[in-house]
Amino acid sequence: MMKKSVACLIMTIILPFTIQGQGKYLTNNGVISFYSHTIVEDITAVNNEVAAVIDGSSGEVVIILKMTQFQFEKKMMQEHFNENYLESEIFPKATFSGTILNNDDVKYSIPGLYEVKVKGEMTIHGQTKTISEEGTVKITSSGIVCSTKFKLNPEDYKIKIPGMVRKNISKQMEITVELPCELI
Amino acid sequence: MRDNKIYLLLFLILASFQVSGQDLESMLEGQMEKTTDYTFATFKSTRILNGHSIEHLEEGQLDFRISHRFGRINSGAYEFFGLDQAHIHLSLEYGIKDWIMVGLGRGTFEKTVDGFTKIKLLRQSKGVKSSPVSISIMSGIYVNGLRWEDRERDNYFWQRLDFVHQIMIARKFSPGFSLQLTPSYLHRNMVETANDPNDIFSIGAGSRLKLTKRLSINAEYFYLFKPDNDLLSTEIYNPFSLGLDIETGGHVFHIILTNSVGMRENGFLGHTTGSWLNGDIHLGFNISRIFQLKKNENYQ
C-alpha cells in the first residue's frame, strides 16, 4: 500500500517534467524569405523577425510574421510591396496555423533530422488557404530547427500584380523558412 | 486506495498545466506587440505638389526631379493657352541618412540656384513607441541669379539671398488619406520696394486622397500673412495647387494645376502673382526618378 503511494507520488512529480521534454518550442527571430525569379528581374526579401511556436506533444505549429518587416535590397521596392501589393496597413500580418501530421515520428529527445509533413491554414493578405508541405525538424541539444521550402502563387492570395510589372514578378514565389526554436 | 485517488487527482491537476494548443497563437501575438510599427507612405513623393511633404529619401537614394510649369491657361489661343511658355526646375536630391536629406536645384524663375536640408524629428508610429504625427523640418536657401537691374548702385551678393524655414507636421489618418500642416517662414534679404515685406509667415495645408493603389489626388494651399495687395508693389496671392500623383515603380509623376509659377518655396510663397479667381492657372508636371545608390542596410 505504502509502496504504491510512493510510486504514485513520484509519478506525479516526474511525469509533468517528461511531458515538458516534449514541450513547446518558441522563436522570435525565425527567418522567412521569398525569391521571385523572372528573366527580367530577381527579387528577394528577408524577414528575420518571424515568431513561431511548435508544440512538441501535439505537433501543433503556429507562425506569425509582420509584412513590414520584410527587408528588400531596394527600400523603394519595400514600400511598394507594403503599400501596393500586400496592403500591410490593412493586413499587417501573415500567419500559418497547422499541425505536423507525422509528429509521432519525431523524437524530440533524440537529436537528429526528421522529415515531416505539415498541413494547415495560411493567411496572407487577408486570404486563407489550406496548404500541405514537406519539411524537416532538426533536433539539437539546445532546441529544434524547423525548415521548409515551397512555392506560392501571389494571385492565390488575391495579391494583384498589374500588367505593367507582370513580367518582373514571378507567379511561383519560392518561400524559404527556417525557424530555430528554443524549448520554453 | 483513497491515497491513490488523491495522487491521481494531484497528477491530473499538475498535468493540466501542460495542456497545450489553444493559446499558442495568443502567446505569439503577445510577443509581436513588443515592437513599434512606423507609418509608411504618408505621401508618395518628397513633394506634395510644389512644397515639401513629410516624406524623405531613404539613405542612399538619389532623386532626379524635373518640374515644368506652362504659362497661364487664360493667356488665350495666341499663347496656345499657356503652352508656348515653359518654366523649368531641375534638382538632384540625396538621402544621406534615413533622417537627413539634401538637395540642390536650378530653376528658370529668377534664374535661381537653391539648396535645402530636410531633417526628420518624429515619425508617426504605433506600438511600444507611439506618436500620432510625423514631424520634419526643412531649411532652404535661394540665390537669385538675374543680372543686377541697376548697375550704378552698390550691389552685394547677400541681396540675392532668400531663406525659407518650414515645419512639416503630418498624419496618415487612414491608408487612403493623409494630411499635413506646414507653418513656414520666408525671409528675403532684398525686396523691390520698401512697401514689400522682407518676412512673410504662412501656414500651409496639404493632403493626399488615394483613388487607387497607385493614383491619388493631392492638394496644397498656403495662407500668407501679408499686407493687403494695395500696399504691395506687385499683387501676390495665396498659392493653391491641385494635382494627380501617379506612381509607376521607380517614377512618381505629378500633373498639376496651380496659380504659381515658382516651383520652390521662395517662388510660391513670395511671388505667386496669379489668382485662381482670375483664371491665372498654370498646367504643370513634376517627374521624380529615384536611383538606389546604396543597398538597404537591414538586407543581407
HSE-CB at B262 with a 13 A cutoff on CA atoms is 23
Q: Choose the closest CB to B292 out of A1, A12, A74.
A: A74
Using CA atoms, how far apart are residues A172 and A177, in angstroms rounded to an integer?
16
Check which CATH number belongs to the domain holding B257 and give it: 2.40.160.40
Residue A141 covered by a domain: yes
Number of independent structural domains in chain B = 1
Q: Which of B33, B34, B178, B299 is most worth mutating to test chain A (most A CB atoms within 10 A of its CB)?
A: B299
Position B16 scores a pLDDT of 52
Collapsing DSSP states into helix, strand and coil, what is residue B53?
Answer: coil
Q: Is the pLDDT score of B229 beyond 70?
A: yes
Domain total in chain A: 1
Answer yes or no: do B15 and A64 touch at CB < 8 A. no
Question: Per-residue pLDDT averaged across B60-73, rounded?
Answer: 95
The answer to whether A171 and A155 are in contact (CB under 8 A) is yes
- Whether B149 maps to a domain, the answer reads yes
pTM listed for this prediction: 0.84
Report which secondary-structure segment, H or E, holds A144: strand A143-152
Residue B41 lies in a domain: no
In a domain, residue A178? The reply is yes
| Domain with A125 in it | 22-183
**A2 falls within a domain:** no
The closest of A65, A6, A38, A55 to A171, measured between CA atoms, is A38
User: What is the pLDDT confidence band of residue A20, given thresholds at 50, 70 and 90?
Assistant: very low
Q: Is A10 part of a structural domain of the chain?
A: no
CB B64 within 8 A of CB B291: yes
Q: Residue A96's domain is classified under what CATH number?
A: 2.40.128.110
Question: How far apart are the C-alpha atoms of B153 and B170, rounded to whole Å?
Answer: 45
Instruction: Report the pLDDT value the prediction gives residue B21, as an integer from 0 to 100.
Output: 47
**B182 touches B204 (CB < 8 A):** yes
Task: Please tell me the predicted confidence (pLDDT) of residue A19.
Answer: 47
Tell me if B18 and A16 make a contact (CB, 8 A cut-off): yes
Partners of A180 in the beta sheet?
A145
In this prediction, residue B104 has a pLDDT band, given cuts at 50, 70 and 90, of very high
In-domain check, residue B44 = no
Q: Which long-range contacts (CB under 8 A, 24 or more apart) does B29-36 make?
A: B29/A64, B31/A26, B31/A28, B31/A51, B32/A51, B32/A64, B32/A66, B32/A93, B33/B127, B34/B127, B34/B128, B35/A49, B35/A66, B35/B127, B35/B128, B36/B125, B36/B126, B36/B127, B36/B128, B36/B129, B36/B130
Contact assignment for B14 to A24 by CB distance below 8 Å: no
Does residue B10 form part of some domain? no
Mean pLDDT to the nearest integer, B239-249: 93
pLDDT at B219: 98
Average pLDDT score over chain B: 91
> A16 and B58: CB-CB below 8 Å?
no
Contact predicate A119/A131, CB 8 Å: yes
User: Quick check: is A13 in a domain?
Assistant: no
Q: Which residue of A has its CA nearest to B28?
A: A51
**DSSP character at residue B148:** P
**pLDDT reported for residue B100:** 97
Please state, in angstroms and rounded to a whole number, the distance separating the CA atoms of residues A182 and B181.
48
How many residues are given for chain B?
Answer: 300
Cβ–Cβ below 8 Å for B292 and A75 = yes
Which residue from A15, A45, A62 is facing B28, i.e. has the nearest CB? A62
- Closest CB to B4 among A8, A24, A45: A8
Number of A to B CB contacts under 8 A, please give it: 115
* Res. B216: pLDDT tops 90: yes
Q: Which of A116, A78, A77, A86 is nearest to A98 (CA)?
A: A116
Distance from CA of B21 to the nearest CA of A (A): 7
Write out the residue range of the structural domain in which residue B98 sits. 54-292
Interface contact A51-B40, CB threshold 8 A: no
Q: What is the pLDDT of residue A141?
A: 87
| Angstrom distance (rounded) from CA A118 to CA A133 | 5
Q: The C-alpha cell of A152 is what? A: 506560392
A175: how many CB neighbours lie within 10 A of its CB? 15
Residue B105 lies in a domain: yes
Average pLDDT on B160-172 reads 97
Packing angle between helix B2-16 and helix A2-20, nearest 10 degrees?
10
User: What CA–CA distance (Å, rounded) separates B140 from A77?
Assistant: 29
In a domain, A87, yes or no: yes
* Nearest residue in chain A measured CA to CA from B213: A84
Cell of B27: 502567446
For the beta carbon of residue B11, count every other beta carbon within 10 angstroms. 17
